[in-house]
Structure 1
Amino acid sequence: MSGGGVDAAGPPEGAVAARSPLHRLAGLPVRCYLTAQRAARALVRGVHHRWRRSLQLRVVTTTLLISALVTAVLGFFLVQQVLTGLLEAKREAALNDHKAGLTTAINMMQDGDQSADQDGQVAEITAELANHSGATGLYEVVILPDIGGLSGYATVDEASVPQRLRDEVGQSLELEKQYVTFTEIIRGDTRQPGLAVGARLSNSYELYYLFPLDHEQQMLDLVQNTVFFVGTALILLLAVIAYVVTRQVVIPVRAAAGSAERLASGDLTERMKVRGEDDLARLAISFNDMAGNLQEKIRELEELSQVQRQFASDVSHELRTPLTTIRMAGDLLYEDRHQLDPTMGRSVELLQSQLERFEELLTDLLEISRHDAGAVTLSLETVDIRDAVLKAVGDAEQIAEKTGIKVVLRLPAEPCVAEFDPRRINRILRNLIVNAIEHSEGRDVIVTAAGDRDAVAVAVRDFGVGLKEGEEHLCFDRFWRADPARARTTGGTGLGLSIAKEDAQLHGGWLQAWGMPGKGSQFRLSLPRRAGAELRGSPLPLAPPEMAIGRARGFSAPMGERTAQTAAGPGEGA
């Protein structure tokens, strides 16, 4: 029947909606557990961080733990010593009282009527001995028969006498020989610790004294409480003392650390305050002397560097005028070189190439001087990085064709727009591509561009001799060459990569190198999309994708860039 079927698709929509709150409630314990777990981890990390950074915390905590351990050990032995003394004194007193009572009981039995009722005589002795205990109840008296058929008398439950003590007394062959053991004194439903002393009173009876240990227990509790409170107060006092003492040392050390940090950050006028004549005062004096000497040396180096920069700038400017005259004469000769004999024509070509190299060197020296003087400015434009790559490849096309090397482009399909100075970025890319062609050993050069939300990047890859370990840090130094004996076809100045790094830093970007001997090298330029934005990662990995990350030799980054690259996350394949 159509009306009696069951929908195989599951419960109706309303039922699912009705169960949803239950599902949410069922997930509450899990969420609470995860929240508590995260809070616990955060607390542990915070304590660990604080423990590692605070000398004062470590000293105070260590003092607290060691003093607590020592106090606990000493307190334990003190309580044990007091307990042993109390029990030993109680035992001696108990034996004496029992001995006196035993003597009294034997005399009463000898002086009594032998024909009288023995049970009545025992009851009388029990009452007499109990009266000697006094109103405070120093002990309880128990007289038990040694053989059956006789009655025992006691002021407490007879079960208060432990069976092992009865066995020892019953097996004794000597009258009046005393035996001692610990027991529980039973009075109805109440029990209290006690000391039992027993001996044979006659051939038929045994005399036991039960001494309560309430007084000793009170004394022991008083000693334990006293030791606990005194030990706690002593531990806290030692912690306070350690805090005060370490504070007197830590505060000057922290002040010295702060002064050192400010000095390291560039504040050469930073000095420490000198108080007193102790070790910390001598440390402050030594620090101030060091800071003064360092300030003087840095000032001398700055003056020397300024003189050097000024000299390079002046020489470059002064050489411009004679170079222009020589260049004009050289151009005239170069244009008429075909009219000269072959030897003169070749000399004119060499003169023209060296003039071009000389002019390039002067241009680079002037650019370096501007960077050193901080006089470089950016002409920012919004440009597609693909256009910059195409222009740089076009500028290097003649060199690539001359050497028979193919430049392979791997550009994204979508625009990668960023704010930068087109002239300077084009100079960086042209320099990287020309260097790759120069060192590619006849193999192809691959130029890759990419972009993400925050940055754009260009990587130039060659398959030449590569870089040795550590050279990725040196290739950006001025006038550095990987192999000085190696012939160059383009006649570089040795300043190209140094200027490129300065231009990249000026944009807030990175210029980094990777290389392996025999595997080639790769240079990566990374720029933020927005001028002035902090660069946190790069869209391209530093090492080529075909190379294992673990085999990479490393990279070279501008000053202060290594930390940023480490924190960049997965986008920073190196």
Structure 2
Amino acid sequence: MRDRLPPALRRGPAFWRRSVQARVVVSTVLLSAAVVGIVGWFLIQQTRDGLLDNRVAAVVQEAEGETEAARTDLAAASRLDLDESAQQQALVEPIQARGATRGFAVVLSPPVGEDLRLADGGAKFTEGLDLSSVPATLEDHFDSLSATAWTYTDIRTTRDIEGLPEGPGIVVGSQVRLPADDKTYTLYYLYPLAEQQETLALVSRAMLIAGVPLLLLIAGLTWLVTRQVVTPIRMARRVAERLAAGQLQERLRVTGEDDLARLATSFNQMASNLQKQIRQLEELSRLQRRFVSDVSHELRTPITTVRMASDVIHDARPFLDPVTGRAAELLQKELDRFETLLADLLEISRFDAGAAVLETEDVDLVDVARRVVDMTSVLAAQRDTRVVLHDPGYPCVAEADVRRVERIVRNLVTNAIDHAESEDVEVYVGADRQSAAIAVRDHGVGLGPGESAMVFNRFWRADPARARTSGGTGLGLSISLEDTHLHGGWLQAWGRPGEGAQFRLTLPRLLGTQLRHSPLPLVPTDARETA
């Protein structure tokens, strides 16, 4: 489903994660929108309350004035001989006439105390007004003698009434006594809130129209401000990437004297110091490689001479006294070890000089593992341990240099025997369509935190006080790592103190293919269960 999205949408999440500037701008706009929204809502509420308060005060005052005028007219008419219906009509008609010009409606209720509702009939009201516009709660309030009261309502009409639109409104109730029957009636005055609605809508639109450009302005200003900070950081990132790629002459341009300029100056000083130290280390490494190469080559001739003399002495042991014969055996053994060290040094020199080449063929890693197990069986027996091969039951073929792969596996197995602590050493072989792998597992002392990477360093030892029993030179794992890199493979280590270690060699089935995974786990299954 992600592949069907437009490219811009697919790049969106990555852009959001990588761009500090975008996150700052969006966060600022969202926070500003929240603040503007809250302030706008508060202002609208204040405006609404002010408009309504003013409107309520005006209509209540006007309604009381109308009621007072009606009472005066009724007092003057009480001396006349009028019946009840005529007096009601004389009361309502002038108010209706004034309401038509001032924009309000009027309702005269039945007498108070007769338990009659407006909907029951008998009320006189502005023609076209729906009597349900008077709330039942207000009718209940005036079931008995009461002072003037008001409430909000929803004005409804049965036909259009000029000056009285449907919608929100205010209804004010006030009571008068009719001289004709000496009964109390309630006058309801209904005033619309259309003007207040329009004013409030105008204010809301004005705030919305002003708020959107304000947010855009805030976004633009935030973008510009963050750009001034982010641009030098991006430049520093690009320069740092070029420095990491080996372009040690790269530097940041320093402008001004602010904090960013001081940061650029400090960055350039750091880069200069790193360049100086790296060049010193490169020169030292070059001298070291040259020294190792020269010493290794120079020692070959004298060691050959010493070997010839040692062979003669060793062959003459039957004719020597026991002490001299034992010395001849020790000399032969140490010469073997010295020649192994010299061969490893020469091999390291070839790697450093870039002269190592592969002689590839199709190699079955199962056969390689089986040969190494057979070769190391005597050493394993001396250490009171066993090397157990877990045959996968199918060929695990890879394009590789059989001599170098066999050397890698032999180094891993002999190293495991050295640290096995009389526990079995297990060798696993596996393969899939892209890669083949060999894993060597021991249950000995294991590796401490961080040692899984250091174990491949030249001459590195986890415990310097520990004696090597296999005659190793301390270069075996380093050479194995270089051999693995020649194949484009992985050589990885895992270990925990007291739980042993596991080394895994992974090779591509086809030379030159990039590895993406290994058919064997780096962390052993038994270690996962006990972790």
TM over 0.5: yes
Amino acid across the alignment from 1:181: T
1:447–1:458 contact (8 Å) kept in structure 2: yes
Q: Deviations over 1:285-325 (max 9, x none)?
A: 22222212211111111111111111122222222222222
**Structure 1 residue 340, shift from structure 2 partner:** 1.4
Amino acid across the alignment from 2:528: I
Match of 2:60 in 1: 95
**Which structure has more RCO (C-alpha within 8 Å, separation ≥ 6)?**
2
Match of 1:187 in 2: 157
1:172 maps to 2:145: yes
Q: Deviations over 1:444-470 (max 9, x none)?
A: 654443333222223344555555565
Match of 1:417 in 2: 397
1:549 maps to 2:524: no
Aligned equivalents of 2:243, 2:355: Cα separation in 1: 26
After superposition, where does 1:303-452 map in structure 2 within 5 Å? 303-393=283-373, 395-396=375-376, 399=379, 407-411=387-391, 414-440=394-420, 445-452=425-432
Match of 2:21 in 1: 56
Aligned equivalents of 1:514, 1:461: Cα separation in 2: 9
After superposition, where does 1:143-222 map in structure 2 within 5 Å? 143-146=108-111, 153-156=124-127, 157=129, 159=131, 160-166=133-139, 168=141, 171-172=144-145, 178-188=148-158, 191-203=166-178, 204=183, 205-222=185-202
Aligned equivalents of 1:60, 1:266: Cα separation in 2: 35
**Structure 1 residue 478, shift from structure 2 partner:** 1.9
Match of 1:10 in 2: none
1:182–1:196 contact (8 Å) kept in structure 2: yes
Aligned equivalents of 2:148, 2:443: Cα separation in 1: 105
2:130–2:158 contact (8 Å) kept in structure 1: no
Match of 2:104 in 1: 139
Aligned equivalents of 2:64, 2:381: Cα separation in 1: 125
Change (3 A) 1:337 1:526: same
After superposition, where does 1:1-16 map in structure 2 within 5 Å? none
Aligned equivalents of 2:107, 2:381: Cα separation in 1: 124
**Which one of 433, 437, 456 corresponds to residue 453 of structure 1?**
433
Q: Deviations over 1:393-444 (max 9, x none)?
A: 5654665676676655444554433222233223223333333444445666
Structure 2: unaligned runs, 5 residues or longer? 161-165
Identity of aligned residues (%): 48
Q: Deviations over 1:52-88 (max 9, x none)?
A: 3332232222222222222222222212211221122
Aligned equivalents of 2:349, 2:62: Cα separation in 1: 110
**Structure 1 residue 368, shift from structure 2 partner:** 1.7
1:119–1:151 contact (8 Å) kept in structure 2: no
After superposition, where does 1:283-302 map in structure 2 within 5 Å? 283-302=263-282
Aligned equivalents of 2:471, 2:122: Cα separation in 1: 129
Aligned equivalents of 2:130, 2:271: Cα separation in 1: 90
Provide TM-score, normalisation by structure 1.
0.78
Q: Deviations over 1:364-414 (max 9, x none)?
A: 122222223333222323333344445545654665676676655444554
2:391–2:428 contact (8 Å) kept in structure 1: yes
Match of 1:560 in 2: none
Match of 1:236 in 2: 216
Change (3 A) 1:140 1:314: same
Aligned equivalents of 2:225, 2:168: Cα separation in 1: 49
Provide TM-score, normalisation by structure 2.
0.83
**Structure 1 residue 499, shift from structure 2 partner:** 1.2
2:130–2:157 contact (8 Å) kept in structure 1: no
1:524 maps to 2:499: no
Aligned equivalents of 1:101, 1:262: Cα separation in 2: 88
Change (3 A) 1:213 1:309: same
Match of 1:84 in 2: 49
Change (3 A) 1:60 1:378: same
391-400 or 370-379: bigger deviation: 391-400
Match of 1:558 in 2: none
Aligned equivalents of 2:157, 2:424: Cα separation in 1: 106
Match of 2:236 in 1: 256
**Structure 1 residue 114, shift from structure 2 partner:** 0.9
Aligned equivalents of 2:359, 2:429: Cα separation in 1: 22
**Structure 1 residue 218, shift from structure 2 partner:** 1.7
SS of the residue corresponding to residue 177 of structure 2 reads coil
Aligned equivalents of 1:118, 1:467: Cα separation in 2: 112
Amino acid across the alignment from 2:364: D
SS of the residue corresponding to residue 362 of structure 2 reads strand
2:107–2:125 contact (8 Å) kept in structure 1: yes
Aligned equivalents of 1:241, 1:321: Cα separation in 2: 77
Aligned equivalents of 2:400, 2:421: Cα separation in 1: 32
Q: Deviations over 1:314-364 (max 9, x none)?
A: 222222222222222222212212211111111111112222222222221
Aligned equivalents of 2:429, 2:320: Cα separation in 1: 48
Q: Deviations over 1:19-65 (max 9, x none)?
A: xxxxxxxxxxxxxxxx69x989x999976654433322322222222
1:142–1:158 contact (8 Å) kept in structure 2: no
Structure 1: unaligned runs, 5 residues or longer? 1-34, 553-574
Change (3 A) 1:396 1:152: closer
Match of 1:129 in 2: 95
SS of the residue corresponding to residue 267 of structure 1 reads coil
Amino acid across the alignment from 2:45: Q
1:361–1:493 contact (8 Å) kept in structure 2: yes
SS of the residue corresponding to residue 201 of structure 1 reads strand
Change (3 A) 1:115 1:538: closer
Aligned equivalents of 1:84, 1:211: Cα separation in 2: 17
Change (3 A) 1:337 1:404: farther
Amino acid across the alignment from 2:353: A
Match of 2:81 in 1: 115
2:64–2:174 contact (8 Å) kept in structure 1: no
SS of the residue corresponding to residue 170 of structure 2 reads strand
Change (3 A) 1:79 1:505: same
Change (3 A) 1:464 1:131: closer
442-451 or 42-51: bigger deviation: 42-51
497-506 or 151-160: bigger deviation: 151-160
1:389–1:429 contact (8 Å) kept in structure 2: yes
Aligned equivalents of 2:498, 2:186: Cα separation in 1: 106
**Structure 1 residue 279, shift from structure 2 partner:** 2.5
